[in-house]
Structure formats: structure tokens, C-alpha cells
């Protein structure tokens, strides 16, 4: 039995970066506990939840029994529905009481992504603290939102609402926090429940990849620092040793994974650890999930007689289209774990190799561009928007301007307010705005943070656009906001990055829908690290290659006007030559 399932606590809390298999492991855990006779509630707090798809049941924002698994129910917290209800709870009492323009201003301040996070957190904490809601269940399993969301929500300061009520600062980004006062005790109780080792177990899910393990180590330290110390580590999707015997590609993957495991960050070595082997099948449906965490001999891969030969467009075709413009903004977007940083570096290296001036930058706190490139290159400038540095610069500016007029108490509250999740987004947005202005003269290739961060950034962009439009519209002067630049396909090409797997394609499609609602039309999709494009020979990898064909077809025929498929390479794409091999795999 897996260590994390031995004497399981009442609350099991799965977290980790996108793409590591949190949802599959959370669902498999729920099934195992329910089939052992326990009453289980499975809750997803992930904005991109696909728990319903995994079980083949329409779940949504209500407790729904899973018919095929007695004693198991599930709930998907819908962030948008929660935000709508939260807004109405705050605005409803003043509608018709305050002037319409004031009410409209309040609604505007509650339109951002911070509101969505806080509203979802409201529902999440109610499940942790309201015994009447959960009395019927012996175990409550949380398939969480991506790590950054979770940590920011758990660190919400307590004095924001008092600061707002005193009217001592600009509430433009703090509007959503005005309703926190009455929830303060509930939030405090929720964090206490999470920190109680008798009631809560945190399961950090990772892959056997050095970058992913480094990020999990940071998550472990951040959660431990706020009192959440009962942690287990699950390393998912490890290629079985037997597959390496007859296939050079499988042998290279196996060696790479074993090296990552041997060099696991020291902060993780003390944690109880489980390894879950890579399966030949997609983890959708009950039978697949039942096999995920068992000690039974694995199901033999279905026979796929020979390597699959794909004839799909590659990255070189996309680069030709990008290079033709001579300059512009190229933004790579997608959930965490799909390889945006590597692909951004590969695109930048190829454009620079063609003699075009390129600025490669990232707003992802977890990105390691310099590690990926290894060396400098003519025509290529590399930078990183450091969220901590940008936030500190922004904090100092606000304290020196708005803070200069406050008394000691007001200044202390302003300093606490500036530790809010919103502050980092505003600071990063300002740096982002500075850099994208360069795209009028050169290529700016931007590796964005995971999807949740990206949408927060775009939301800030939209708010800035609305404010500038209001101010400049009265003057008749010509102006261009960052949002206008992102919406103009002549200036910006958005590349959606995904994997040829069910969940990443679903989440990429959801991201595309969000971008379209913001008036941004993705230019192309990139399907990264495809086994089907790599001519794998091992039985397990051949079966996974066959499984990819349906997802590649969905991208080609349903989601993308243009797309490229990038093969899984034997060698990790580090250094300029290997990065160019992603563009020219047969060269």
C-alpha cells in the first residue's frame, strides 16, 4: 500500500504544479477509500477541474454521488459561480442605496481575478470548518488549484478589511477584500485545520524531473513555513525499468528520471515518499483509476505492432510564419508542466540564429531560462521578470507616495495591504508592460507563468486598458494600451502549449476560451514532447503513442487553425544545439 494511504487522515490535500497528475491520484485515492468501506467526499478547487470528465459524470458546483462507486460523492467548486455569488453578497445591500456610479465602481473593483480566488476560497474554507456540511463523510479529499493559488490564498492577511473600512488607501485592487471581516475567524479556523497533523495530510505530487522536484521543494518549504508540516511526497509517472531494455528512447528517459531521483533536493529527503509507475493507458474511467495505486502486476500494454509514424507539421513551419514579420510579441501560454520555458527558449534561439534581434523573457517564478540556454548567443537578450524584485520596487513607490500622507497606524495597514496577492500581479504587470513595448522593433518572446498567473496578468492588463480608455477617451488623443497590443494579431502571436493527453488538451481549450473572451485569438497551438512523434519502440511507449493520436486529431480538427507537434527527445533540450533540435528534429 502507498505510504500516504496508511492510516489516512480525515482531510487529504493534494497539491503540486500543473501536469503532474494530481487529479488522477486524488480520484484514485477517493475510489480506494470508498471501496474500502469509507464515506468519501472528493472536492476540486482547481479552476480547470476535470474530475467530472474522469468519472464520466456531470458534477458541477453541488455534491454529486458517483453512481459506479458507492459511498463516493464529488463536488467541483466553480470559481466563476462562487465569484458571482460573492459579488452579489457585497453589492446587493448597497444597490439602490448608493448612487449608481458608486455601485458601478464597486462592481468594477470586484471584477478581477482576486475576487474569483477569494470567493472560491470562501467555499473551500467552509468545507474545512463547517461540520454540518461534511458530517456525513469520513474522508474529504481536495484536488487543489495549482500551488501558487493555494499558497496565496492561505496567506491572505487579516487586516485588509479594517484598512478598507478606515478609508486609508486606494481600494482599486482591494475591493474584493472588503467582505473579509466576517470570514476572518473562518479563515483562521481553516488554516488551523490544515496545520493539524491529526486531521490533515498534504500530499505533494511531482514527476521525476529536476525542475519539477525543485519546485516541489519550494512548495514544501512555503507550506511548512505557514504551519502545514504533515506532508507526503508522491512521484508520479516513473517509466518502468523493463521498458528501457530494447528502446534507446526509453533507456534515455529512464536514465534521466533515475538521475533526478538520485539528486532529489535535500529538503524533500525526509518526507515519506511513494513512487507511481507510468501506465500505458490514459487515466480516465474507473478501471484505469483502480489500477493506478495498486500493488497488483501492471496490465500489459495493448499490442501496437510497430512504431507510429506521424506526418504532422513541426516547429520549423511556425517559425517561418513568425519570422516573416521581422518583429513582434510572441507569448507562450499554457498550464504548468507542458514545457513553455523550453519552447520559448527554442523559438528565441532559432529566430536569433536567423539573424533577427530577440529579447527572451519570462514572468514565471519557476522558470530557469539561463539553465536551459547554458550559453549566450548573438542577437539574443535574456531577462527575467523577478516577481519579488518587482513587487518590492512597487511597494516602495506606493509607500513613498500614498504612504507619505498616513499616520503610523495607517502606514502599518498599508504595508500589510501591500503583501496581498494583488500587489505582485500589479508589479509584474508593470514590468510586463515595459518589456512588450520593445516588440515594435525586435522580437520579444515571452514565457508566461502558469495559466492562473497568466489570466491574473491579463486581468490586470484589462483593468489598465479600461482606466486608460476612460482617461484618454475624453481628450481625443491616440493611445495604445497593452491589452490593445495583445488583441492585435499583427503585433502579438499567442502560442498555446499543451501535451497530447486528455487533461492538458482540455485545459488548453479552456485557456483558449478565456483568451477569446478577452478579445485575444491564439495564433497557433504547440503539442509538446509527443511520444507519437518520437518513433518509440518500447511496448509501453508505443501504447502511449497510440493513445496520443486522438488528442492530436482533436487539436488539429477542433481547436487550432495552425499547430505543430514537437517530439519527445532522447536528450533533455538544454543548450542551444539541443534547443534547435526541437525545431529541426531530423537535422
Q: DSSP per residue over 8-75, as a string?
A: --SEEEEE-STTS-HHHHHHHHHHHHHHTT--EEEEE--TT--HHHHHTS---SS-EE-TTSTTEEEE
| Residue of 15, 16, 18, 19 marked catalytic | 19
**22 part of the active site:** yes
**Residues in CB range of 101: below 8 A, 6 or more apart:** none
Spell out a b/e string for 121-154, using b for 16 or more CB atoms within 10 Å of the CB, else e. Answer: bbbbbbbbbeeebbeebebbbbbbbbbbbbbbbb
DSSP annotation of 270: T
| Residue of 22, 168, 340, 493 marked catalytic | 22
- 428 and 318 Cβ atoms separated by less than 8 Å: no
Rama region for 96: left / alpha / beta (φ>0; ψ in -120 to 50; rest): left
Euclidean distance between CA atoms 86 and 109, whole angstroms:
13
C-alpha cell at 41: 467526499
| Residue of 16, 21, 175, 237 marked catalytic | 21
Euclidean distance between CA atoms 377 and 370, whole angstroms:
12
| Residue of 15, 23, 161, 530 marked catalytic | 23
Q: With H, G, I as helix, E, B as strand and everything else as coil, classify residue 329.
A: strand
**46 part of the active site:** yes
- Considering only CA atoms, which of 505, 465, 455 is closest in space to residue 485? 465
| Residue of 45, 363, 420, 503 marked catalytic | 503
Angle subtended at Cα 38 by Cα 37 and Cα 43, rounded to the nearest 5 degrees: 140
| Residue of 15, 24, 502, 576 marked catalytic | 24
- 48 and 507 Cβ atoms separated by less than 8 Å: yes
CA-based end-to-end distance of the chain: 46
**481 part of the active site:** no
H/E segment holding residue 148? helix 147-154
| Residue of 16, 18, 46, 148 marked catalytic | 46
Only one residue has cell 454521488, namely 65
As a whole number of Å, the CA-based R_g of the chain is 24
**Residues in CB range of 327: below 8 A, 6 or more apart:** 356, 357, 439, 440, 441, 442, 443
C-alpha cell at 496: 498555446
Q: DSSP per residue over 236-249, as a string?
A: EEEPPGGGGSS-HH
**18 part of the active site:** no
**23 part of the active site:** yes
Catalytic residue numbers, as ranges? 19, 21-24, 46, 503
Amino acid at each position: 500500500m502507498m505510504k500516504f494511504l496508511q492510516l489516512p487522515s480525515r482531510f487529504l490535500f493534494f497539491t503540486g504544479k500543473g501536469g503532474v497528475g494530481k487529479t488522477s491520484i486524488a480520484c484514485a485515492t477517493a475510489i480506494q477509500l470508498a471501496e474500502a468501506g469509507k464515506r468519501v467526499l472528493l472536492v476540486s478547487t482547481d479552476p480547470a477541474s476535470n474530475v467530472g470528465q474522469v468519472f464520466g459524470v456531470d458534477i458541477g458546483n453541488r455534491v454529486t454521488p458517483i453512481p459506479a462507486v458507492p459511498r463516493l460523492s464529488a463536488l467541483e467548486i466553480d470559481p466563476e459561480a462562487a465569484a458571482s455569488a460573492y459579488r452579489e453578497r457585497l453589492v446587493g445591500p448597497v444597490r439602490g442605496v448608493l448612487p449608481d456610479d458608486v455601485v458601478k465602481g464597486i462592481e468594477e473593483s470586484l471584477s478581477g481575478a482576486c475576487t474569483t480566488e477569494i470567493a472560491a476560497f470562501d467555499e473551500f474554507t467552509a468545507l474545512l470548518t463547517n461540520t454540518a456540511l461534511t458530517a456525513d463523510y469520513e474522508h474529504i479529499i481536495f484536488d487543489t488549484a495549482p500551488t501558487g493559488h493555494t499558497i496565496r490564498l492561505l496567506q491572505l492577511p487579516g487586516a485588509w478589511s479594517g484598512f478598507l473600512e478606515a478609508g486609508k488607501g486606494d481600494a482599486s485592487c482591494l475591493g474584493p477584500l472588503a467582505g473579509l471581516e466576517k470570514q476572518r475567524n473562518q479563515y483562521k479556523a481553516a488554516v488551523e485545520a490544515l496545520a493539524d497533523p491529526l486531521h490533515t495530510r498534504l500530499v505533494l505530487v511531482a514527476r521525476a524531473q529536476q525542475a519539477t522536484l525543485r519546485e516541489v521543494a519550494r512548495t514544501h518549504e512555503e507550506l511548512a513555513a505557514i504551519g502545514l508540516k504533515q506532508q507526503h511526497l508522491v512521484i508520479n509517472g516513473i517509466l518502468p525499468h523493463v521498458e528501457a531494455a530494447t528502446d534507446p528512447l526509453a533507456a534515455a528517459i529512464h536514465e534521466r528520471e533515475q538521475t533526478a531521483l538520485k539528486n532529489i533536493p535535500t529538503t524533500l529527503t525526509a518526507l515519506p515518499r511513494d513512487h507511481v509507475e507510468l501506465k500505458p493507458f490514459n487515466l480516465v474511467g474507473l478501471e484505469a483509476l483502480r489500477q493506478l495505486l495498486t500493488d497488483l502486476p501492471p496490465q500489459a500494454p495493448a499490442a501496437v505492432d510497430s512504431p507510429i509514424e506521424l506526418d504532422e507539421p513541426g516547429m520549423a513551419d511556425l517559425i517561418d510564419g513568425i519570422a516573416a514579420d521581422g518583429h513582434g510579441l510572441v507569448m507562450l501560454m499554457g498550464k504548468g508542466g507542458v514545457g513553455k520555458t523550453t519552447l520559448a527558449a527554442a523559438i528565441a534561439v532559432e529566430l536569433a540564429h536567423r539573424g533577427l534581434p530577440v529579447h527572451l523573457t519570462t514572468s514565471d517564478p519557476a522558470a530557469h531560462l539561463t539553465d536551459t540556454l547554458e550559453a549566450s548567443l548573438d542577437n539574443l537578450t535574456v531577462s527575467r521578470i523577478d516577481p519579488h524584485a518587482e513587487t518590492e520596487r512597487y511597494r516602495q513607490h506606493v509607500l513613498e507616495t500614498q504612504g507619505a500622507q498616513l499616520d503610523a497606524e495607517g502606514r502599518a495597514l498599508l504595508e500589510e495591504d501591500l503583501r496581498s496577492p494583488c500587489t505582485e500581479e500589479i508589479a509584474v504587470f508593470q514590468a510586463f508592460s515595459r518589456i512588450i513595448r520593445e516588440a515594435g522593433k525586435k522580437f520579444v518572446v515571452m514565457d508566461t507563468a502558469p495559466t492562473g498567473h497568466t489570466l491574473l496578468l491579463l486581468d490586470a492588463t484589462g483593468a489598465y486598458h479600461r482606466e486608460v480608455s476612460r482617461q484618454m477617451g475624453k481628450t481625443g488623443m491616440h493611445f495604445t494600451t497593452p491589452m490593445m497590443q495583445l488583441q492585435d494579431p499583427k503585433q502579438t502571436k499567442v502560442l498555446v502549449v499543451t501535451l497530447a493527453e486528455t487533461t492538458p488538451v482540455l485545459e488548453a481549450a479552456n485557456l483558449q476560451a478565456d483568451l477569446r473572451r478577452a478579445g485575444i485569438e491564439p495564433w497557433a497551438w504547440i503539442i509538446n514532447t509527443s511520444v507519437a512523434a518520437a518513433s518509440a519502440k518500447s511496448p509501453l511507449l508505443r501504447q502511449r503513442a497510440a493513445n496520443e493520436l486522438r488528442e492530436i486529431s482533436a487539436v488539429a480538427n477542433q481547436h487550432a487553425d495552425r499547430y505543430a507537434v514537437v517530439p519527445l527527445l532522447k536528450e533533455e533540450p538544454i543548450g542551444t544545439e539541443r534547443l534547435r533540435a526541437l525545431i529541426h528534429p531530423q537535422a
